[in-house]
Amino acid sequence: MPILVYIAHFVGGVFLANGIPHFVSGVCGRPFRTPFVRVHGGDVSSPTMNVIWGWLNLLVAYLLFIDVGPLYLGSLVDTVASGAGMLLTGIVLSRIFAGERAI
């Protein structure tokens, strides 16, 4: 497969890792920070906004996994590309949110 497919799978992993905490926080009724915080003023977005934002992230991940190039979890390269995107995003987000709690 072309390298762009693997890049799409990596970015799909990024969107998947970002979408899950937003969607889960929203479904659990907890406010959580989204990119729209500055738009409406405040520190966090409403649970409803988080459900919508999480769902949009999951939709983008799905489109990158399925439409750009089919993701085959049986393929080592596909799995590593998407897993690396998820792992990198998870590490970056954990450091960001750990820093917020320390403040």
**13-43, pLDDT tens digit by residue?**
999 999 999 999 999 999 988 887 766 667 7
> For the chain, what are the domain ranges?
3-102
Helices (H), the chain: 3-27, 37-40, 47-63, 76-102
pLDDT class of 1 with cuts at 50, 70, 90: low
Which one is predicted more confidently, 73 or 28?
A: 28
Matching residue, tokens 């992993």: 13
pTM of the predicted protein model = 0.85
Task: Looking at mean pLDDT, say which of 19-28, 36-45, 65-74, 93-102 comes out highest.
Answer: 19-28
